[in-house]
Amino acid sequence: MDAGCTTSYPALLDYKTEKYVLTKNRKVGALHRILHLGSFCYIIGWVLIANKGYQESDKDPHSSIITKLKGVSVTNFSKSKEKIWDVADYVIPSQGENVLFLVTNFVATTGQVQSTCPENPVMLDARCIENLDCVAGDPVINGNGIKTGKCVLYNSTHTTCEIYGWCPVETESLPRKPSLNEAENFTLFVKNAVYFSKFNLSRANTLDTSDDTYFKNCKYNPVSSPYCPVFQIQDIIAKADQSFEELSLRGGVVTAHIEWKCDLDQPANECLPRYSFRLLDTKNNFRTATYYWNKQKLEHRDLLKLYGIRFHVSVTGEARKFGIIPTAVSLGTGCAFLGAATFLCDLILLYLDEKASFYRRCKYEEVGG
């Protein structure tokens, strides 16, 4: 019968606690305490307080965005005729969704009809010296039409393939200064409603008012008017560290990011959106055309190459609330460290300490078999 073996079997409700060997090793002892302290600080400070590990969260709210641009601008349209641009003219698409394009500059090619004309020499594929360079029926790569097989004069300096297509072709001469530069004074209204299904929480970024003129006259200010999401274009561009003058010339893409952080363990009125604006891309343009028929029932179109700023409104949100499960998990993972600490100290004591061999023998108690 070995030393320290119980004579009877342990009963179900006897509490068994590990037997410890008490060493007077101050160094490892101190290390052990420090590691334990560290683990506790990590659990309390980081997991629970910094990361709010005791809360469960809903990170994808249903979100609805309604945008509205306001303002008017005067331009000298083709044939140097003055033209007023209002919302219906310069916002594309007009539905006011989360992506909207504000026209700031354009190249107009009016009165195009389907016929034959020389291709633009910008298309390398269309440059030619003689007719043989232009294979009839071939489309011009990235070009405006189908080659007719003739090589004709484009202007005093260039000869290019004649094409069948919408003629005359667009001549890429971008105005030096943006045509709609009043646009910087336009205002953008961004109405956003979010719904966190997990907590059945609905929030909106607009003041719930019956006064219809409120949003016509207010302007966003995080302190004085946090519930008036009306931004002036030039402010937005400025916040994105850009100059409207440059950006409006060749266009760009600006993201307006709305971030909701709602801690339901806090008073609800602290759950306010934060707005941030970033330039995502420079140069942004596309072509669109309006079609009409003249008296001879011949189809014409006005081709517009529109340069402008695309606003991309994105919404992210996170709602947090105390939950027992996440708390348990956070503590659980934290506990693992306490074990790790002991594990580490044992290694040191049993294999690195100068008296390691002695401790190693004393840590273990031999039993037969």
Contacts to a second copy from residues 98-127, by CB under 8 A: 99, 101, 114, 122-124
Return the range that interacts with a second copy (CB under 8 A); candidates 71-79, 126-134, 152-160, 239-247: 71-79
**Contact flag: residue 273 with a second copy (CB under 8 A):** no
Residue 285 annotated as lining a ligand binding site? yes
Between 157 and 210, name the residue whose CB sits nearer to a second copy: 210
Residue 187 annotated as lining a ligand binding site? yes
Long-range contacts of 358-365 (CB under 8 A, 24+ apart): 359/21, 359/23, 359/25, 362/21, 363/21, 365/3, 365/4
Q: Provide the greatest CA pair distance for the chain.
A: 119
User: Which among 100, 108, 107, 106 is positioned nearest to 233, based on CA atoms?
Assistant: 100
- Hey, what are 241's tokens? 């560290």
Site for a second copy in 224-243 (CB under 8 A): none
**Contact flag: residue 64 with a second copy (CB under 8 A):** yes
Question: Contacts with a second copy: how many residues (CB under 8 A)?
Answer: 136
Between 265 and 361, name the residue whose CB sits nearer to a second copy: 361
**Contact flag: residue 262 with a second copy (CB under 8 A):** no
- Which DSSP state fits 27? H
Site for a second copy in 128-187 (CB under 8 A): 139-146, 164-166, 182, 185, 187
Site for a second copy in 344-363 (CB under 8 A): 345-346, 349-350, 355, 357-363
Site for a second copy in 29-58 (CB under 8 A): 29-30, 32-33, 42, 46
Q: Coil, strand, or helix at residue 246?
A: helix
Strand 81-85 with 73-77, pairing: antiparallel
- In this chain, which of 161, 247, 303, 315 binds a second copy, going by CB under 8 A? 303
Return the half-sphere exposure (C-beta side, CA atoms, 13 A cut-off) of residue 28.
21
Dihedral, CA of residue 352, residue 356, residue 359 and residue 361, to nearest 10? 120
**CA 55 from centre of chain:** 25
Residue 153 annotated as lining a ligand binding site? no
- Helices 324-347 and 26-41 pack at an angle, to 10 degrees, of 160
Return the range that interacts with a second copy (CB under 8 A); candidates 27-35, 152-160, 173-181, 234-242: 27-35
- In this chain, which of 48, 56, 57, 89 binds a second copy, going by CB under 8 A? 89
Q: Residue positions in the annotated binding site for ATP?
A: 68-70, 187, 285-287, 305
